[in-house]
Amino acid sequence: MILVTGATGFLGAELVVQLLQTEDKVRCTKKENSVIPQKLIPFAHKIEWVFANILDYSDFELAFENITQVYHCAALVSFDKNLKEKMLLVNAEGTANVVNLCIQFNIDKLLHVSSIAALGSAKHSEAINETYFWEGFETHDAYAVSKYRGEMEVWRGINEGLNAVIVNPSVIIGVDAGTECSGALFETIKNGFSYYTQGATGFVDVKDVAKCMILLMQNEVNNQRFIINSENLSYKELFSLTAEEFGRKTPLKLAKPWMLNIAWRLNSIKNTLTGGKGGLNKTVANTASKTTEYDNQKIKTLLNFQFFPIKKTITEIVNSLKSA
């Protein structure tokens, strides 16, 4: 049987839907207070839910009984520095538990979802590929550190005999993202936004990430990492394409780095005074002004994979938000 951790999340739910096109049953873990996504409700009879805390080893032991393959999607995604310790627990120590259980139960193969945040930095404006590793922790935010340490746990497991594949998705977008994480970008533009930032990064449709994960699990490849990235886009291009789909004016004002630095500091002061949370912070401001490109040739060559055009994904997201 297949086990999926983090099945109630954006990527995990899509993965389960795709797996159930061919599998009779899939076992999924969830926390007791997690809400089952609407897209999984029609498959209730084919999903075996196990209530388990990723930090509780004994909880997860029950989930691993009679399992042959594991997709590890569970993670805490946040740019809030106040959640650093929690992210390190869930994304690093939680992954260590999954790796140890895979070894204990002699699992055939583990597919671990890491992140482009765990890749090394580009040199001389080159596109980052799978050979890039970190040279230090001092320039990385809490989320990136937690995902890097989680990935290191998988490499440790590989050294101990585990068969595993690591995927490093770029920014995952799709209809079901809601208004959190990547979905917040589209909600912001929907409400009218006249600024763009000078940065750029990679984007990929959630359906493509799930497809690649399944194909990599089925493939004989082991003990490697793969960047899953459809296209590299500037934020200006992303904002403009989205604004056009909404029938709104294209953002024409450049939010320069110094402006963003002032903005996140003001937001930090406001949150301190009011006890509020969220909004622009230092990590988001720095990311929005940074240009990074990602090389997807390794995954495309191995799987002969063609990515869904990001422009079409944007159209699907906008149409969904219009009808919401």
Tell me the CATH number at 204.
Answer: 3.40.50.720
Residue that is written with structure tokens 């509020």 in the block: 276
CA angle 122, 127, 128 (to 5 degrees): 60
Nearest to 264 by CA among 289, 237, 240, 239: 289
CA angle 223, 306, 235 (to 5 degrees): 95
Q: How far apart are CA 228 and CA 307, in angstroms?
A: 9
Q: How far apart are CA 199 and CA 238, in angstroms?
A: 11
Residue 266 identity = L
Write out the chain's pLDDT in tens, 324 residues: 999 999 999 999 999 999 999 999 999 998 888 889 999 999 999 999 999 899 989 888 989 999 999 999 999 887 777 788 998 999 999 999 999 999 999 999 999 999 998 998 877 778 999 998 887 665 677 888 999 999 999 999 999 999 999 999 999 999 888 766 667 777 777 777 777 677 888 999 999 999 999 999 999 999 999 999 999 998 889 888 888 888 888 877 776 664 545 443 444 444 444 455 545 445 555 566 578 899 999 999 999 999 999 999 999 998 888 876
In a domain, 105, yes or no: yes
Q: Which distant-in-sequence residues (6+ apart) come within 8 Å of 112 by Cβ?
A: 72, 95, 98, 150, 151, 154, 164, 165, 166, 167
The total of other beta-carbon atoms located within 10 Å of residue 284's CB is 19
In a domain, 143, yes or no: yes
Domain of residue 158 covers 2-178+199-232+293-307
In a domain, 40, yes or no: yes
- List strand residue ranges (DSSP E) for 161-320, in order: 164-169, 171-173, 195-196, 200-205, 224-228, 231-234, 253-254
In a domain, 159, yes or no: yes
Is residue 75 packed enough to be buried (19+ CB in 10 Å), middle (13-18) or exposed (0-12)? buried
Nearest to 270 by CA among 261, 280, 260: 280
In a domain, 221, yes or no: yes
Domain count within the chain: 1
Q: How far apart are CA 208 and CA 224, in angstroms?
A: 19
In a domain, 139, yes or no: yes
In a domain, 154, yes or no: yes
pLDDT for the residue 267: 46
Is residue 136 packed enough to be buried (19+ CB in 10 Å), middle (13-18) or exposed (0-12)? exposed
In a domain, 218, yes or no: yes
